[in-house]
Amino acid sequence: MGKAQTKTLQIMLIDNDKYVRESLGIFFARGQLKFLIFKSASEGLNSLKYQDIDVVISDYFLPDMDGLTFLKQVGIKKPGITRILMATIVTDELKKEISMAGIDTFLEKPLSVASIENILCEINKDHLTKIKPEMKNEK
């Protein structure tokens, strides 16, 4: 028998800026999404081993590797996961690398909570659309 409940969208946020982590964590804690927040790529990669993550949002500048390299590794370890990169400094070379890496969304900083919220709402809609057919097949 299938489960009648829908799965909560789980999001991993990686940002070395304490204030970004805290403010986004506080804002999204009141919503229906589950947020896991880390300050380094290595923490995020380790968590992927144990957590069922749907979306990874990463800053480009991280203490242990750049966010693009991190998101490439995420894509290898968890194909199909939605990957979002945030960066303050954007060059044509970085835009090209983002495109070649197949990153789903790019957000230029400074960003607003509304911009992240809009993107996550769209991803959540897509996520729920994918779950409903699976739930029907389980019955």
Residue 74 has pLDDT above 90, yes or no: yes
CATH architecture of 10-138: 3-Layer(aba) Sandwich (3.40)
Element holding 11 (H helix, E strand)? strand 10-14
What is the pLDDT, as a whole number, of residue 134?
42
Partners of residue 84 on adjacent β-strands: 57, 105
Domain ranges within the chain, ordered by starting residue? 10-138
Q: Per the structure block, which two tokens stand in for 66?
A: 């750049």
**Phi and psi based region of residue 114 (left: phi greater than 0; alpha: psi -120 to 50; beta: remaining):** alpha
Q: Which string of DSSP letters, residue by residue, matches 56-114? A: EEEES--SSS-HHHHHHHHHHHSTT-EEEEEESS--HHHHHHHHHHT-SEEEESS--HH
d(C-alpha 106, C-alpha 84), whole Å: 6
Residue 136 has pLDDT above 50, yes or no: no
Please tell me whether the peptide bond between 79 and the residue prior to it is cis, using omega within 30 degrees of 0: no
The secondary structure of the chain in percent helix, strand, coil, rounded to multiples of 5, reads 50, 20, 35
pTM, 2 dp: 0.82
Q: Could you tell me the pLDDT band of residue 127, with boundaries at 50, 70 and 90?
A: low
Using one digit for the tens of pLDDT, what is the confidence trace for 91-103?
899 889 999 999 9
Mean pLDDT estimate for the chain: 83
